[in-house]
Structure 1
C-alpha cells in the first residue's frame, strides 16, 4: 500500500501549486486521501483564499461573488493570466503552469489581451492602442492601476517575455 509523504513535503507540494490529483499520482494514492490529509492540517485549496485571490488583487474585475465563479476560474484565458502573474511574483511554475503560461504568451505575441465580458467571462481580444503593454484590457476610468499592478501586468513585446514597467 502506498502512502503520502510527511506533512512538510505535502505542504511544499501544495504551495508549489500541484493539484491534489497530481500529488496523489506521485505517491500512488487517491485524490481524496490527499484532500483529507491537507484538510486535517487546515490547508484550504483553491477558492476565495487560494491562488485566485492572489490574482484578484492585480485585476480590475471582481468575480468572487458570482454564481459562475468556478466556470470563470477554469477558462483558458484566466488560467494563463493567473500563471503569468504567478511567474512574475514567484519566478517558478509547475509543468502545468509552464504549459498554461506558454499558451498565454503565444496569444500575447499574436496581439491579444485578456478582457472580461459579463456573459462570456475571460476572453482574448485584439490589442488596441489604449491597451499599451498591459496583458489585460483595463476598463476606462477604473481605478487601481498602481505601480505594483503595472509591474505584474506589463508585457515586454520586444523580448516576448514579461517585463517590468
Structure 2
C-alpha cells in the first residue's frame, strides 16, 4: 500500500517550519504514528518535553534495559509503554492521542483495582502485589535509588483521585 506521506524532503520542510506530527498527519490523512515512524526512519527524533522526562525517569530506574527503540527491546513491552504514557499524561503532555489517554487511564485503573506495582526482572516486565513500603508508587522504586527531580519521582505515586494531568 503506497504511503500517504510526502517525500522525506517535504517532511523535512514541514519539520523546519515547526509543524507538529499531528498537523502533518491531518494534512496527509494518516496517523500521527505513521508520521513519527517516518521521522524515526529519517533519524529525526521529535519527543515532547514530557516524553523526554518520562523516558529519563524510567531509564534511571531500569538503566540496563531501557536502551533501544527496537521492537525486540523490553522497553517496547505493553507494560513499559503503558507506564510511559501514564507518566506523560501525569506531566500534562498535550501530544497524547485519545488512544494513549485511554491506555493510561486503563493502566491506572488496573493498578488500583489489583493493588499492584510494576516490576522488571530477568524474564521481563511483571506485576506484583503492593507492599507497605511501596506506598502509592506504581513501580518498585528502591529507597536506595535517588533521583534529583523529587517532584518527578513523586508523579510515580497514584493520585488520590483518578488520574488527571499534573504539570510539573
* Same structural fold, with TM-score higher than 0.5 when normalized by the shorter chain: yes
Range class of TM-score, shorter chain: 0.5 to 0.7
1:124 CA displacement:
1.9
- Would the alpha carbon gap of residues 28 and 116 (structure 1) be closer, same or farther in structure 2, given more than 3 Å must change? closer
Among 114, 121, 128, the residue aligned to 2:118: 114
Change (3 A) 1:77 1:55: same
Q: Does the C-alpha gap of structure 1 residues 143 and 35 become closer, same or farther in structure 2, counting only changes over 3 Å?
A: same
Structure 1 position 136 matched with structure 2 position 139: yes
Is the alpha carbon distance of 1:144 and 1:98 closer, same or farther for their aligned partners in structure 2, counting shifts above 3 Å? same
Shift of the 10–103 alpha-carbon distance from structure 1 to 2, 3 Å rule, reads farther
Residues 78-117 of structure 1: CA distance to partner in whole angstroms, max 9, x if unpaired? 1110011111223432122112212211222121111111
Checking the alignment, whether the CA contact within 8 Å between 1:84 and 1:101 is kept in structure 2 is yes
RMSD between superposed Cα atoms in Å: 4.1
Gaps of 5+ in 2: none
Flag structure 1 segments of 5+ consecutive residues without an equivalent: none
The whole-number CA distance in structure 2 between the counterparts of 1:130 and 1:71 is 29
Kindly indicate whether the alpha-carbon contact (under 8 Å) linking 1:115 and 1:123 is maintained by their aligned counterparts in 2.
yes
- TM-score normalised by structure 1 residue count: 0.65
Query: Which digits, 9 at most, give the CA deviation of each residue in 1:33-55, with x for residues without a partner?
Result: x716972xx52368xxxx5x543
Residue in 2 that maps onto 1:12: 20
Any idea what SS the aligned residue of 1:139 has? coil
Against the structure 1 CA distance between its residues 37 and 81, is the aligned structure 2 distance closer, same or farther, given a 3 Å change threshold? closer
Aligned with 1:116: secondary structure? Answer: strand
How far apart, in 2, do the equivalents of 1:137 and 1:113 lie? 6
Equivalent residue, structure 1, for 2:108: 105
Compute the TM-score of the two structures, normalised by the length of structure 2. Answer: 0.64
Which residue number in structure 2 is paired with residue 55 of structure 1?
A: 54
Q: Distance in 2 between matches of 1:11 and 1:54?
A: 22
The answer to whether the 8 Å contact 2:39/2:45 transfers is no
Aligned residues: 148
What SS does structure 2 have at the residue aligned with 1:90? coil
Equivalent-residue separation in structure 2 for 1:140 and 1:118 (angstroms): 21
1:118 is displaced (CA, Å) by: 2.4
